[in-house]
Amino acid sequence: MIYLKNSNGLVMRYFVYMVFLFGLVHHSCAQERSLGFFVTNAEENAPGLLENANLQKVGELQNEIIRAQNNAFQVNATSEVLVAPYFNSNGKFLDVTTNPSVNALGYDVGITNGGLYSAQVNITKNIFNKTIVDNLLLQNQLSNASLALGQEEMTRNLVKNITDLYIFTYQLQLQKDFTLGIIEDLNNRLKVMELLVKHGILAESDYLAIQSDIGTKQLELDQIDINFKNLYTQMGNLSGVSLTNFDPLAEPQIETTSQKDTLLFEKRFALDSLQISADQNVFENQYRPQVSVYGNSGLNAVDLNNLQRRFGLSAGLRLTIPIYDGYQKKYYELQNKLKLDNLDYYKKYNQTQAQNTLESLQMQMEGQTEYLKQMEQQLQLQSNILEIYKQKMVQGLASVIDYLNLVQTYKLTAYAKLQAQTNLWLLRNQFNYTNW
């Protein structure tokens, strides 16, 4: 509350109190939106996260495909009709037979047997292939784990970006509130100045100086409001939230997380290493002996005569043993070893970088916290000086220009403190991002 010592002091105190009370009531009635509101909506609406979740479901279904391809019976039906006629055979111009005359014109009977009339059901199944299936399932499992880790990485980046944007938007909200407070206070000063000018205590130029400063700060407030709504809209877009109004933002509650033993990038390196090993095992599947059983049943004939008696069945066992591939296995293994070496190089480098970054952020947060305390003391001192100048100015004992300069200095100090608080929130967010 602002106290004014003049003949109309009681009225002015009541007026300022009502303005202040109205502001509180208006602010309390508005619905606040928190950082968690935007983060939660972003996690629910981000298309990248939704797509990744579906890809993980696709990967789970791939396990069933692998089992079906390698463990289940494969059943199919085949049908074929092949006619190989002879010309000028046994006194006939056209004859389909397995016993053509010597002068007949057509394919060698040993090749075609006259034709092929087939309609069969075929069944095959791989056996003794548990290791092969396990290798394929492990490869797919690691691929799914990579998608899950990718989901976490996308969430991490999304939380970081929204939090940074929220902090900057909240900073503008505080600037709006602070600038509005200065304008309201200057308007109160202006009313007092009007009375003092009428009584000849202050010059009209003093009145005009405050009036001009109010106009300048109103323009500044308008620009801050434009920037605030722009960032607010960006935050809504990033979160997938439809904005019908710009509700006040709650103060961001950002606390640093405890330093983790294993960071997200280390999980990625470990998973990538396992994926390379799994790919090697799957590649080596082709060098394992493969055994399959097969059978068929149905019609199979080379002559139309007695076709109804050519129904039967057959079964067999197939064994495949790789012998030589031109050293492909060796070269593939060497390639994967080099890939693992590369991962190890980057892992050690990133570990050192992450540790240095976390330590640096910790020191910066401690320094920023101490700086905030000093700024708070400086603001309190400037606020006390302003109160003294307000009283002296009402009595005509202080220059209006000096007062306006003090107001501007107080504003700059408050903005500096606000920037320091913003930096502290940003540092905490960066620490949590690095420490994820």
- Strand 92-95 versus strand 115-127 pairing type: unpaired
pLDDT digits (tens, 9 = 90+) for 275-299: 999 999 999 999 999 999 999 999 9
User: What is the reported pLDDT for 301?
Assistant: 87
Tokens encoding 318: 């197939």
Least confident of 3-7, 20-24, 113-117, 144-148: 3-7
Question: In the chain, pLDDT over 90 holds for what percent of residues?
Answer: 70
CA distance 179 to 225: 11
Closest CA to 243 of 222, 229, 224: 229
User: What is the reported pLDDT for 30?
Assistant: 59
pLDDT digits (tens, 9 = 90+) for 187-197: 988 888 888 88
State the residue for tokens 């070496």: 341
User: What is the reported pLDDT for 16?
Assistant: 38
Closest CA to 431 of 349, 348, 375, 368: 368
- pTM of full prediction above 0.85: no
pLDDT digits (tens, 9 = 90+) for 57-106: 999 999 999 999 999 999 999 999 888 888 988 888 888 888 888 888 98
Tokens encoding 269: 């390196």
Q: Among the ranges 11-25, 108-122, 305-319, which has the highest mean pLDDT value? A: 305-319
Residue range 253-279: mean pLDDT, rounded:
95
83: CB partners within 8 A, 6+ apart: 96, 115
Least confident of 71-85, 165-179, 261-275, 393-407: 393-407
Question: In the chain, pLDDT over 70 holds for what percent of residues?
Answer: 93
Please say if the pLDDT value at position 391 is more than 70.
yes
pLDDT digits (tens, 9 = 90+) for 334-348: 999 999 999 999 999
Which is it for the CA torsion 303, 309, 315, 316, positive or negative? negative
What pLDDT band is residue 202 in, cutting at 50, 70 and 90? Answer: confident
CB 412 within 8 A of CB 420: no
Kindly provide the b/e burial profile for residues 310-320, where b requires at least 16 CB atoms within 10 angstroms of the residue's own CB: beeeeeeeeee
pLDDT digits (tens, 9 = 90+) for 210-252: 899 999 999 999 999 999 999 999 999 999 999 889 999 999 9
